Structure 1
Amino acid sequence: MRNAISLLSSAVLPLLAIASNTPGFRVAETSPFTVYQYSENGTWIANIANRPNNDLVITRTDVPEVWTINVDEGTAQLATNISDARNLIGISAIDDDEYVVIGGNLNTTTLAPEIGSFSAWKVTIDSDNNATACLIAAIPEAGFLHGVTTFQKTRDTVYVLIADAVQGAIYKLDTTSGEYSIVIQDDGLSGVNNLHMQNKHLYFTATQKKIFGRVPVDLEQGNATGSIEIILDDQNLVTDGFALAPNGSVAFMATFTQNSIITIDLDADDHPTNVIYGGINSTDIAGPTTVQFVQNGPWGTLYIATNGGQTAPVGGSFVEPAKIAGVYL
């Protein structure tokens, strides 16, 4: 399979050159390829971050573990276990092989959080792919911390923004001092989970409400400078983890219980969507939880994380171990 992928890479370069000059991206693979898959059902990959060498680091929700993924070799290694939490969720890179990871206690069947159990950790990975984890801050006021995105880097620290689904709030956290505060709170953020910053806007999904939106923010303080804009409100789509194209024209999104990846045109006024992989009855990417875009030379790869369909089995019965899949764009 790896050899076939290598041959495909050279074959699609003309297509990729065309795609880079048009809004959005075209899919160059006929189907996703598996990068790495666990061996047991019940596994759940929550989120993905890029490593400096274009490998991946992931968080797991079924266990409080951080893993590294070697995308060329198709191998995975346990980096660290954060035993103070039962589940790990959001992750964001704050420096070379340094990440903020969100942990807490969840019922993975009902997705009900244990209020007050959430915290933020700094995970540092060494050259042998082993990691250390140290507590940045426990945030007992939080209801359900989920996504985290790197917001601002200064000479002394890095600030991140963290979503709180229960409070409909965004926390700003100083990753050096551990100080934190709510910088945005709005009914429109009820259920907020995944976050990304781009072009002075904080993009977000709220999975239970099935919406995708953005809000302009002050790049110094993190507070909102305008109203929330709802980009997508389609009750037939379950919006979950997403990635933004580097040119800001497209969002790639996992649809969680609907087993597909969609694109959302951010430039068009009506923000049309398009399914680029999967479907409600597809077993290719059962239970996609998030996606991560990696630019490698002249082309990009979209990596897809799954929970194997354990939240909503495909066709009512199909489940498989969680995996990382890849798609050439």
Structure 2
Amino acid sequence: MKFRVLSFLQLALALLPSEAKATRPPLAKTSTIFQLNDNNTWFENLATRSNGEILATRLDSPELWLINPSSRRGRSLVTVPGVLSTIGITEHRPGVFVFGAGNLTVSPLGIEPGSMKLFQLDFHQKRPSIQLITDMPDASLINGITPFSQTEVLVSDINLGVVYKVDVTTGVSDTVLSGPDFAGINGIRVQNGFLYYASTSNETFFRVPIDDNASATGAAEVIATGVPMDDFALTSDGTAYIATMGLNQVVRVDPDGRMSTVAGSVGSLDTAGGTSARFGSSKNDRLVLYVTTNGGTPSPVNGTVTEPAKIVAVKGIS
């Protein structure tokens, strides 16, 4: 295999570290609900289930992990054949999840060109099963995934700066969004006729109006800028909670663009190397924000400190 250095890593390292350009109200309470045993590990993304469990992907391993926040226990649920890493994940319909995978390395961080794939995980079986949806050989590095229709998801490509629409029943993939405003596109969400997205390279949180084909119907709108951004959770009113990777913080972005830090700090391990965020999906944890981390693997805290990847619960968000 021939691997090349990931451009988004070079970008992430260039952006580190400085305090987020955001106000700092009293921070919410953070607690680690699960942590791996070894350094150089990387939880990349997560999805929450209606029963309270969390599914987490791993950039350093071809596994999906299942974490129970109540018992604070986790285990490898499935190992995906033919890949080295799992990437973005979303619940497409109840009990059915779509996730990306490919051949990446963490130390040093690199990617095998042409290795991207999209899979489905189905819990409607006695044992959860995975199925290949499609190979994506023309993609560079798929990242964020969000539901779009009953049969389609949208998938971002952070290196190519495009968004694909993929039919999960046929595997057919089309490029639907591209251009300078989509450079470094990372996390994505569809809500109320808009695609919300975080651009790592632009350090900007955008939204763009889209139609039923996921084509843009207007210009991308800048909501907030000035913070390196990874993936995020989005509330019904358009408030985003964004993981900032090497800034080691979770930043809240209000619909009017005001930013505030709700958890972590540059010199803290609380949310060190935060990669994604999701609110719980059960009746008991809908107000709990869960954050995946890479433990500072690509950018150590204070330049020297790393830890194993973990899942953090953030409570008391106002």
Structure 1 vs Structure 2: percent identity of aligned residues?
Answer: 32
| 2:254 equivalent to 1:257 | no
2:252/2:259 contact within 8 Å kept? yes
| Counterpart residue number, 1:99 | 97
Q: Residue 250 of structure 2: SS of its match in structure 1?
A: strand
Which protein shows a greater Rg? Answer: 1
Unaligned runs of 5+ in 1: 1-26
Alpha-carbon RMSD: 2.1
Alignment TM-score, normalising by the size of structure 2? 0.86
CA offset at residue 116 of structure 1? 1.4
Runs of 4+ in 1 over 6 A off after TM superposition: none
Cα deviations across residues 98-144 of structure 1 (Å, max 9, x unaligned)?
1111011224246443321101001123677x532111000111121
| Counterpart residue number, 2:263 | 277
Are the structure 2 counterparts of residues 28 and 125 from structure 1 closer, same or farther at C-alpha, using a change threshold of 3 Å? farther
1:243/1:291 contact within 8 Å kept? yes
Are the structure 2 counterparts of residues 28 and 100 from structure 1 closer, same or farther at C-alpha, using a change threshold of 3 Å? farther
| 2:262 equivalent to 1:312 | no
| Counterpart residue number, 1:4 | none
Q: Residue 257 of structure 1: SS of its match in structure 2?
A: coil
CA offset at residue 298 of structure 1? 8.8
Are the structure 2 counterparts of residues 196 and 110 from structure 1 closer, same or farther at C-alpha, using a change threshold of 3 Å? farther
Cα deviations across residues 288-326 of structure 1 (Å, max 9, x unaligned)?
111111253596000011011111111111111111110
| Counterpart residue number, 2:59 | 61
Q: 1:33 aligns with which of 31, 34, 41?
A: 31
Alignment map for 1:138-287 (pairs within 5 Å):
138-153=135-150, 158-218=151-211, 220-234=212-226, 237-248=227-238, 250-266=239-255, 268=256, 271-287=257-273
2:49/2:280 contact within 8 Å kept? no
2:26/2:262 contact within 8 Å kept? no
Q: Which structure exhibits the higher relative contact order, with contacts defined as CA atoms closer than 8 Å and separated by 6 or more residues?
A: 2
1:243/1:251 contact within 8 Å kept? yes
Unaligned runs of 5+ in 2: 1-24
2:40/2:107 contact within 8 Å kept? no
2:296/2:305 contact within 8 Å kept? yes
Cα deviations across residues 193-239 of structure 1 (Å, max 9, x unaligned)?
21111111111112233222111111x211111111122220xx221
Alignment TM-score, normalising by the size of structure 1? 0.84
2: CA distance, partners of 1:30 / 1:193:
25
2: CA distance, partners of 1:44 / 1:65:
11
